[in-house]
Every structure is written in structure tokens, then in C-alpha cells.
Amino acid sequence: MKIFYAIPIFVLLGILFHVASAEVYIPDKEYAGYFDHNGIYVVYGSVKNTENQPVIAKVQITVNNGNTAYSESQILPVIYSLNDMPFKFKFPQITSGEPTLQKPNVSFILTNSNPLNIAINYDKTLIKYPDGHLTGFITNTGNNTVHNIDVYALVHDKNNNYLDEVENTWTIPTLNPGSKTEFVMYPDPAVAKNVYYYSCFIPGTDSSVEIATPLKGKTFYFSVLSIVYFTNQKFNDNDNSISFDAANPWQIPYYANFMFPGDSSNGNFKVYVDSSQISPLISIDNDTKNWHVAFNVNYGQHKITISGFDPNYVPNNDEYFYLDARSALISWAGLSTFTISDSKLLDVLGIQGQHVPSWVKNTVSFMVYNNVPVDDIINEIKYLKQSGIIK
């Protein structure tokens, strides 16, 4: 599942979609795959933006293994002008054989975003350890508090070959102006012993807003990442669509990235702006399995309609669809910008119950700050249930 300059207005008239050219592309030397420590084939790389303005890019990867082709796609965080954005895909269907990577496809929309003002501290505090992991600090150099920060990087061997894409082991909940905080990165154990140095450190943040609308007597939760204001959302049962009033006060187009539960659609989304159909970037997140639907919204007031939802879809009550086990634990322990209840945590973990002892939050802190595997925390909570401590 993350944001990122002022652009000449005449360039941005209309909604601009492109098939990647020499300006937004994946260099051959920064694109490869390997079997990770779990035996799953992963593909990593980096998209380079040499445009004179930010873009939001969709990457589609195809892998041939034997007579079968596997394809995955995802929408990346905004890529600033003259910057890179690392990525990683997992193909759990491929655990053996001799996979062959096909040429990646990159499409993008030109967009606009304010600078993040989060700086990597390139000093003696940026340390790589013998086991391959790295620690460092970031500083908020801006005037506003930033929430939900992630750091991305590529790792290399001593021959300058790329080995892997990595992210910090926990999302940094908040960072005030002038403050700094530590981040930690661990490469996959399959390549850790060959790690020589890290490069392409890119900070990013997810400032998505949760939206809800009634659907079939329940509440349909989804999210949008944008500084465009979306209000008066309404689900239309007649054509299985959601309509919004959109207000973009910024006098230039700005992107919106909607995230919907994976089982709410088969991906055949259509987007209409003031009754005119446009072509969004559509992808499904490899980790959360949520649909992403991204497009630009011009300056001014607009009516937005997104159709293509499954007519048989019925949402769950209290459906925070983006919560996986790790993010649920972090939120429950108070280490995120929002919190969830004991019962909601247990629901995400598939455990019956209403109360979790508060001291378990200390264990979750070890998961975040000491790289304790999330499965260890889940197994501890399951043990508490079996012991009758969780009711």
C-alpha cells in the first residue's frame, strides 16, 4: 500500500495518461528476480522518472515459468521529478522451476504533489551491519507534521549488482517539524550475506482518508489518497456505482488514488468525470489485495462516478479492509495514527474474543522495534486464547 511539485498549468490541462517512454522507465540493470528465504519467487526493481514533473506510475510484471505466464501489477507512490521509486512483487504461485522475466510495462499519469520534506540523514548514524541490515535516521525538514512514513531502498552486492528492494520494518506513525527518528531495514535472508551497500533511499507517506457509505444495510469502507475533497458519497444499487462531489481548489489537476476491498469487484472499473468517461490506472495490491483506481481531477467542482462493483458484494460491518495482521497489531498497540479495539484486533486475526491483555502491547513494540516476526505475536495471542486468558 504512500504521497509525493508545481507543474506548468498549460502542461496539465486535461487528464494526462501515458504509456511509459524513455522519460519514465525501469532500467534493465535495476530489474531482476530471485527465490526468497520462503522459496517464493520475487521480482524487484526501480522506476526512474526523468520527466520534469511528478508522476504516479503503474507497473505490470509478467513471469514465464514453464508453459505458464503469471502477471501482477501495482500502482506505486508518487515519483518526484529526477527520482527513482523501488518496488517488489511476490509470485507465491512460483516456488520452483526456472522463471523468465518478461519486459516490464510501465504506464503513468502526470500529476502534482507538495514536497514531503523528509530527509535521510547521510552521516555516521547511517550504519550497515555484518548481517546485512541497516539503521539510520530521517529528519522532518518542513513546517508540518508528517504521518505514516515509510522508507524504500535498493541493496547491492560488492560488484554493484542489485540484490533486492527493501522497506523499513515498521511504518513511522508521526514526525514533527525539526524532529528526527530512527528507521531499520532488513534484506531478505536469501540475499543478506551478499549485501554490500544500500542506495536510492526514498521516503514516502500514506495520508489516505477513510470513506464510508451505506450499502445493503451495512457500511462499505474504502479509502482515498488525495488532497482533492470528496463528499456526498452514495452507492447506487441500480448500476453498482459510487458517486461523489469532488472539489479541487488547487488550480491545477491533482491525482486521486481510491482503494477498494479486493472482493468488492473483479477489476472492471469505469470512471466518469462530469459524465465523461476517462481511463484510470487500475491495479490490485499484491499484499493487501485491495483494488487501486487512480486518476487526475481537474481544478474546480466535479461529479465523479466509479462503477464496476460486484452486484453480489455485501460488506462486513466495521470493515477496515486494509488491516492485515501486522497493521492491526500496530494500530491496536497505539503505534499508528488511529487505533482499533481489542475485539477488532481479534477479528482480523481470526480469533474469537473481546479482550486482549494490555501488556501484549509491549510485545507488539518488540515486533516493531526489534524485528520480532509478526507470526510470533499472533501465536502468543492464540496461546492466550487457548489458556482461557482471552475470553
Q: Pull the grid cell for residue 253.
A: 489537476
CB 145 within 8 A of CB 174: yes
List Cβ neighbours of 119 (8 Å cut-off, separation of 6 or more). Answer: 138, 139, 141, 203
Q: Are residues 201 and 215 in the same domain?
A: no
Q: Are residues 187 and 268 in the same domain?
A: no
Where a domain ends, among 65, 93, 110? Answer: 110
In a domain, 26, yes or no: yes
Indicate whether 148 pLDDT > 70: yes
Task: Give the pLDDT band (50/70/90) at residue 388.
Answer: confident
Return d(Cα 304, Cα 297) in angstroms, integer: 9
- CATH code of the domain in which 70 resides: 2.60.40
In a domain, 90, yes or no: yes
DSSP string covering 118-172: EEE--STT-EE-TTS-EEEEEEE-SSS-EEEEEEEEEEE-TTS-EEEEEEBSS-E
Distance CA 369, CA 388 (A): 29
d(CA 384, CA 391): 9
Domain that holds residue 379: 325-386
Is the model's pLDDT at 115 over the cut of 80? no
Mean pLDDT of the chain: 84
Structurally, the chain folds into a number of domains equal to 4
Residue 246 lies in a domain: yes
pLDDT of 369? 66
Which has the higher per-residue pLDDT, 341 or 247? 247
> Is pLDDT of 342 > 90?
no
pTM of the model: 0.63
